[in-house]
Amino acid sequence: MKLRDDDAASFVAQFNAYRKEAKAKNQALEGELLRVFSHAKALEAVVRRVEKGEYAVRQRGASSRVVVPCIPLQDRPVRGNYRILLNV
């Protein structure tokens, strides 16, 4: 009987440790996903403005006909450090 109680207590302790670790990891992932979503929304706004022609453009390269929009710094999304999602 004592052995079974010890096994049950050990299982509960291991499970609680696992649950605590999983909860912390899920919270970190949720925060990172919210940052990625915010970044994607900012990029979407930039693309929408480029499609509407709201930005001035400039030609890059002498022989090529590449036209690059001049996007102001305040419209550019902030780069994030997405270390969790990159390691999955």
Mean pLDDT of 65-81: 77
What per-residue confidence (pLDDT) applies to 36?
87
Looking at per-residue confidence, does 33 or 62 come out higher? 33
The answer to whether the CB of 57 falls within 8 A of the CB of 69 is: yes
Q: Which pLDDT value is given to residue 68?
A: 79
Question: Residue 32: which of 74, 86, 85 has the closest Cα?
Answer: 85
pLDDT at 85 over 80: no
Token digits of residue 39? 């970044």
What pTM, to 2 d.p., does this model score?
0.63
Mean pLDDT of the residues in the chain: 83
Q: What angle do CA 52, 54, 60 make, to 5 degrees?
A: 100
Residue 63 CA to residue 59 CA, distance in Å, equals 10
User: Greater confidence, 80 or 58?
Assistant: 58
pLDDT at 6: 86
